[in-house]
Structure 1
Amino acid sequence: MNFGNITMEALWDRLGSMGTQNAEHHSMVSNKLDNIQKNFDSVTGVLNDHSNQLGSLDYDKRRKNVVIFGVSEDQNDLENVVLSLFCTHMKINGFSLMELDFCRRLGKHPNHVKPRPILVGLTTQRRKIEILKNSTTLKGTPIFVKQDLSIGARETHKKLREERNNLRSQGKNAVIRNGQVICNENYAPRHGFAHTTTTVSSRNASKRALSQSPSDILETQKSAVKKTNQNISEGSDLLNTTMIELEENQHQDNRDIFSDTSSDFATPAQSPRPSITSPRNLLQPSIVPYLNTQQGPSEKNE
């Protein structure tokens, strides 16, 4: 077949070469995409490592800091204000200015009445923990002390506090420990939460009463062990008796089954079995006379 100056064979050759070129082009593009994906994965890994390092640096920078809220703006000497707050109001023993790394207000000077928080840097993390523990002494005042947290950590803690308050409103003992809410249902809520009557927790129930001495507790435990052993012995005797009764019942059932089986295979009364002591009884009746006639002369000759 001829299409002008182009034959069918030439068209098939061109189509084959175009298919080969397309396959090569597809393979080349696929290899480039694989390389791009590998580079993207490596860049993502590097970014994750850098993010983790920045998070560690940010935590290390904030781990000795506390933030004080509610101190009025008319206080200019922040170091002495913070020192007076820690020593006088929060009862931090032996605290001195040498343990303050820095003190400064956060944010721009406000135009409204609400004061800016104070960021306080301490020289040791031990003092920071002590200050946070003693911050409960400021209850009932407009001043409170919090940890210095990043924006992401503040959002996480906000959600954890909402979950904790929700559980406490249901009468459960919920606290925040190591970034998670730990709940104990045996809890009587305080400070604004609905009160519910709860049972004594298992930890308090296991405590020894003051009226009991260790010797009394030991005697009680010994008597309990003795009673338990007695119950075990009685249960063992009862089990043995039950097993004996079961075995006797099984033997009786076997005997009954055997007797029933024997009666099924017994010969009927109207057709008694022939005696095995007489061989003639085992022969057919037509053969017996023949045997008698054959044996007669021999017996006479004898």
Structure 2
Amino acid sequence: MEEIKNMLVIMQQDIKQQKQDMLDMKEDIKCTIINSLNEKFNHLELKNELLEKNLEEQTKKINNLERQFRRKNLILFGVDESEKSYDELEEMVINIINTYIKISCETHNIEAVRRLGKKGEKVRPIVITFNTLGFKLKIQKNKHYLQNTSYYLKEDYPIEILNKRRELQVQVQKEKDAGNTAFIKYDKIIILNNKQPLYKQSNKRNLSESPETLHPGSQGVQQAKKQPPKKNKGSMKNYFIQKPKLILTQAETTQRQTNTSQHNTE
């Protein structure tokens, strides 16, 4: 009977140990899975950041390329769609530039012309691509001659830039109402504060006046407080070896004079 009790106790201990082992194993498996998931998540997060960075760089490059592509373009509004071919459309544009903008323009000055958008009820604007940026700037400089006509010129911007410029117009109007000069340059707003003072205080420190000027009676005191002159560090002669001088005592000098007198007497 005692043996059976001992066997039951041992079995209970084994079962308890097995349960503890299973709990430990479960905890180990849980930690292993969590660590593995964390590593995968960190790897995916890092990969996602790299992809976002590459996407941002690619977007900037595309925007720069599109800006370069459109930099020689101007959009002409208000031209009736009466052309029947490309040559007629180009001829209409050249006539408008020569007649109203007052700049001599020929076929070789224009690279391409095209209507913008699908044909419908509204008159579509014309995108003009000039051969050189310089000629485009000349046209843009004289666009004020179109004020009393049905035509007008604008820059060729991407849709994203146009939307951003519309949003900035509200801020531009607020700055103008406040008395400042504000305008939009591409996709940024430039604000000039017209309320700045005429004279700005210089950041440079003013030169201090001499002590004699500030305190005329203290000239002697100032001279006494002056830094003592620096000692001469020596000339190049001190670096050469000089011959030692022969120093004679008074007795030796007297003896030498006596010897000289006796020699002269003989």
Using structure 1 for the length normalisation, give the TM-score: 0.57
Find the counterpart in structure 2 of residue 180 from structure 1.
189
2:180–2:191: 8 Å Cα contact kept in structure 1?
no
Matched, 1:154 2:165: no
The whole-number CA distance in structure 2 between the counterparts of 1:159 and 1:134 is: 28
Change beyond 3 A, Cα 1:74–1:202: farther
Counterpart of 1:182, as a letter, is I
Find the counterpart in structure 1 of residue 91 from structure 2.
80
Count residues in correspondence. Answer: 198
2:175–2:191: 8 Å Cα contact kept in structure 1?
no
The whole-number CA distance in structure 2 between the counterparts of 1:67 and 1:91 is: 17
Q: Which has the higher contact order (CA 8 A, sep 6+)?
A: 2
Change beyond 3 A, Cα 1:98–1:171: same
| Post-superposition CA distance 1:245-293 (Å, at most 9, x none) | xxxxxxxxxxxxxxxxxxxxxxxxxxxxxxxxxxxxxxxxxxxxxxxxx
The whole-number CA distance in structure 2 between the counterparts of 1:176 and 1:19 is: 63
The whole-number CA distance in structure 1 between the counterparts of 2:19 and 2:154 is: 81
Change beyond 3 A, Cα 1:46–1:170: closer
1:64–1:121: 8 Å Cα contact kept in structure 2?
yes
Find the counterpart in structure 1 of residue 105 from structure 2.
95
The whole-number CA distance in structure 1 between the counterparts of 2:166 and 2:94 is: 29
Shift of 1:5: 9.3
Shift of 1:102: 0.9
The whole-number CA distance in structure 2 between the counterparts of 1:18 and 1:175 is: 67
Aligned residue for 1:49, secondary structure, equals: helix
Counterpart of 2:192, as a letter, is C
Change beyond 3 A, Cα 1:158–1:45: same
Unmatched 5+ stretches in structure 1:
187-198, 204-231, 244-302
The whole-number CA distance in structure 1 between the counterparts of 2:174 and 2:162 is: 18
Change beyond 3 A, Cα 1:174–1:28: closer
Change beyond 3 A, Cα 1:166–1:143: farther
The whole-number CA distance in structure 1 between the counterparts of 2:170 and 2:96 is: 29
Shift of 1:240: 4.5
Counterpart of 2:25, as a letter, is S
The whole-number CA distance in structure 2 between the counterparts of 1:177 and 1:150 is: 14
The whole-number CA distance in structure 2 between the counterparts of 1:163 and 1:89 is: 34
Q: Percent identity?
A: 24
Using structure 2 for the length normalisation, give the TM-score: 0.64
